[in-house]
Structure 1
Amino acid sequence: MIIGAPTEHPDPDATALHVGYRDKVLAVEPGGNEPIPLAARHGRPRGLFWTWTAPNLEFATIFVGIISVLYFGLSFWQAVAAMALGNLLGAIAHFLLSAEGPLHGVPQMVLGRLAFGYRGNILPATFMAVMCGVGWFATNSVSGAFALSTLFGLTPLTALVVIVVLQTAFAFFGHNLVQRFERLAAPVLAIVFVIGAVIIFSKSDVAAPAADGGFSLGGFLLTVGAAFGYTAGWTPYAADYTRYLPPTVSKVQTGLFASAGLFASCTFLMVVGAASVTIGDPVSENPTEAFTANLPSAIADVTLLAIAVGAVAANAINVYSGAMAFVTMGFTLPVGLQRALVTVFFGVVGFAVAWWALADAAASYEAFLLLVAYWIGPWLGVVFADRLLRRDPPPLTLLYDTGYRNRGGVVAFVIALAGSLLLFCNQEKFVGFVVRAVPELGDIGAFVGFVVAFVGYLILARDRVARSQQMYR
């Protein structure tokens, strides 16, 4: 028995387009969120290490370490522990979601329909498209623009235009070019940042005490939340970059290579950022210039260029997956170009947001990191609870059935999101009621949201999941 009719089920034309795209790099990826046919599957899991290393070798990652010491008041070693914990939690989630991509061959947000229903999934897909496809795009564009501005003496706006055009072009062509670019960029970026790290650590004072001379639980938890928000911010993209792999590849290797690249790159550069703050007070309001001022001029110039390239590497993925989420909402566009056309739209919108954020990049970034974590926590809670309840892999008909409903997922998500924000949010413009009473809690909204959503889904959706498993066998 099948409820409703699948309106996005793969058709012969879409299959032919994907098969023709299989081995091409400089070609526009066809289609949108339809399943990747077996004949078009290619690649090996180990390539995922570079896919998830390159986009984090950029200044936005460094800045997490900077704010942990400069704004949250931790010592270097306290910051290292907090960032490693937040990154580990995000990497574990990324492992689990990446491992599922080859089995189903569909984007991450299509898989989300299991937990939210076909229409209900529009809610988290909107969050991802706006906050990740536009928000992260703007955030990284700003850091790349500052790097180019410092290196070549361009105005920040001119540099921003250059960065946006480059990263939108990569995402426009799609999956194969994005993967190839990340693979080529990662080793080069790694070498540059390792050289910079050696110099930073030679000048740093990692034994310096925290700002107040002791240990701040609130600052520690804020840093855990910020690091988790950064690393887990990639989880809604996870299957987008594993869905082209053959279903016969090892799930463990798929998840391990993806999560290892993510954890290693994030932790490495966050630690470098924290060490840079112990050298002395910032010498410039331009955050990239302040960081590279600690390096010899030649190394500083190369590092600025690497920061700009890293921003492009990150945003090629951000705008690609943001566009994928948008297509998943059910909009009807030309089959061969729907994802590519939406990519251009997100590039334009992301540019506008980045232009606005240029005025106060540091404050905008700190707030944005925690905002991302607020919705990611409940979303992961619902998604993982759904996986726990399902014993058998779902058929494609369920993922593309417009009649499939799962209100329990939507309700659990909304309750967890609203409750965690109202009670545990810790932002400049709003502090949650519990945090007002207990400031030492820092910001644990994402983690509370995860637990509430996970438990709520198990209670609200257990029967619905069981019925859907029976109906689609």
Structure 2
Amino acid sequence: MSIQTTAPASAGAIETRTIDMVPESERHGSPSSQFTLWFGANLQITAVVDGALAVIFGVEAWTAIIGLLIGNILGGAVMALHSAQGPRLGLPQMISSRVQFGVKGAALPLVLVIIMYLGFAATGTVLSGQAINSMFGIEAPAFGIIAFGTMTAIVAVIGYNLIHKLGRIASVVGIAGWLFLAYQLFHQYDVASAFGQKPFSVATLLLAISLSAGWQLTFAPYVADYSRYLPSNTTVSSTFWSTFIGTALGAQLAMTFGVLVAAVSGAAFLKNQVGFMGDLAGPAAAVVIYLVIVMGKLTVNCLNAYGGFMSILTTSSAFNNKSRISPFARMLFIVGFVVVSMLIALAASADFLNNFKNFVLLLLAVFVPWSAVNLVDYYLVSKEHVDIPALYDSNARYGAYNAVALGCYVLGIVVQIPFLAQKMYTGPFTKMLGGADISWIVSLVVTALVYYPLAKKTMRVPGQMIYPAEPATTLPAAAAMSAT
């Protein structure tokens, strides 16, 4: 049984596939599309804020830049390994979690993924709404939030190809806009004075690493959604490197800029992040910079809405046994998700920076063990052999629940508690380490080491990839869909 739409995939420009496997006849594009998508999705203002958080919460500028680079490399590599699953499986990322957790058991990480999508969509909508309001000189937050939410819903409804095109545009626009802002920053401020203001410490270095690693790992639950249309003969290495370089480079450039801005501007940036960018650009260029901000945020916000919709559908389909969803229902799912994210944005905009930091670090705690289980299974246990039809049947190979994977996932969260450095709770080992947060490293290692031998003994791995019997007959080829 596969989840599919009732209309053919070729019926117009709007994508109609959801969580079913993309047949070979509909595959298109090249790995370079992964670079532009993830570069554009990272070179945006929320990544700038993430970099600024390192300085705001006590990290010296050089330490912050180095720590963020390490985190982007480590987290980006893990994220890109997930991306490489897309062409091989032709599936969205989270549907493949049923291999490890069971058809119904995958709902546990899925619910957390949906919350993540909503959180990031809301925080992005806050900043983009401010930019739109500044463009039109309107003070009411609701105006910008509703306008940005409407744009997000339209692009997400149209789907995969438009999202990739938007990523290409955002990459070009982002490079030009942020280079101009960097020039303005060096022209208006003594950037050299940002360095050496505080002594180096291991604890602050690890905080910076955690911020950027957490940023990258939050892409992992949906990165394969945007590589699944690539031809199945696309090599693992080409998908990996295109995704990795795009995501790590885009994020590092944005976060480094955020470090410099926070270090030289202090309270001015804290007071109004978007307004500061407009003032930095100057009256003549401010509107253009606001457009750059909106374009970058629109790219990643569409990823959140698109991935959020598919995660909701993946969760519900495991329990209601529905095999079809109409294009209209698909649209309602996406619009409903966007509306909820807008409501959260209206409620959460008051203490944005503190909320965002705690949100990112919390997500790191719940997604590291999921990522460890998924990657260890895919590359070391199943070794890329997946029974795709069984992913849609709780009575088939993978069953309803996999106690081993679920237990390791919970263990991966629990072992982090003594090492957490959260606003609400600081673990005893964190205090002994001078405030250094190594919880995600502990979780990654422990989860992988415990899961691997148990999975090797218990997993029912097929001898080869098993595809649906007639993957291209239910839905005709998407001849009308333009290549990415």
TM-score of the aligned structures, taking structure 2 as reference length: 0.88
Contact 1:66 1:274 in 2 (8 A): yes
Runs of 4+ aligned structure 1 residues displaced above 4 Å come to: 470-473
- 1:3 maps to none
Q: C-alpha separation between the residues in 2 aligned to 1:28 and 1:333?
A: 20
- The residue type paired with residue 373 of structure 2 is V
Q: CA deviation at 1:356?
A: 1.0
1:8 and 2:15 equivalent? no
Q: CA deviation at 1:207?
A: 5.0
Q: C-alpha separation between the residues in 2 aligned to 1:440 and 1:367?
A: 15
May I ask how many residue pairs the two structures share in their alignment?
A: 453
CA change 1:471–1:166 in 2 (3 A) is closer
Contact 1:173 1:340 in 2 (8 A): no
Contact 1:29 1:174 in 2 (8 A): yes
Matches within 5 A, 1:42-441: 42-71=28-57, 73-131=58-116, 133-154=117-138, 155-202=140-187, 203-211=189-197, 213-283=198-268, 285-331=271-317, 332=322, 334-337=324-327, 338-387=329-378, 388-403=380-395, 404-405=398-399, 406-420=402-416, 422-441=417-436
* Residues 335-355 of structure 1: CA deviation (Å, up to 9, x unaligned): 232543321121011111111
Contact 2:130 2:144 in 1 (8 A): yes
The runs of 5 or more residues in structure 2 that have no matched partner are 467-484
Identity of aligned residues (%): 27
Contact 1:29 1:340 in 2 (8 A): no
Counterpart secondary structure, 1:106? coil
Q: C-alpha separation between the residues in 2 aligned to 1:204 and 1:397?
A: 60
Contact 1:424 1:435 in 2 (8 A): yes
Counterpart secondary structure, 2:222? helix
Q: C-alpha separation between the residues in 1 aligned to 2:307 and 2:403?
A: 25
Q: Which moved more, 1:27-36 or 1:80-89?
A: 27-36
Contact 1:49 1:261 in 2 (8 A): yes
Q: Please provide the CA RMSD for this pair.
A: 2.1
Q: C-alpha separation between the residues in 1 aligned to 2:115 and 2:79?
A: 20
Contact 2:412 2:444 in 1 (8 A): yes
Q: C-alpha separation between the residues in 2 aligned to 1:80 and 1:167?
A: 31
Q: C-alpha separation between the residues in 1 aligned to 2:464 and 2:24?
A: 25
CA change 1:333–1:468 in 2 (3 A) is closer
Q: CA deviation at 1:450?
A: 1.4
- 2:14 maps to 28
TM-score of the aligned structures, taking structure 1 as reference length: 0.90
Counterpart secondary structure, 1:279? helix
- The residue type paired with residue 228 of structure 1 is A
Q: C-alpha separation between the residues in 2 aligned to 1:204 and 1:62?
A: 19
Q: C-alpha separation between the residues in 2 aligned to 1:206 and 1:150?
A: 30
Q: C-alpha separation between the residues in 2 aligned to 1:9 and 1:303?
A: 42
- The residue type paired with residue 462 of structure 2 is Q
Q: Which moved more, 1:28-37 or 1:312-321?
A: 28-37
- 1:4 maps to none
Contact 2:3 2:324 in 1 (8 A): no
CA change 1:300–1:447 in 2 (3 A) is farther
- 2:469 maps to none
Q: CA deviation at 1:439?
A: 2.9
Contact 1:113 1:121 in 2 (8 A): yes
Q: CA deviation at 1:324?
A: 1.0
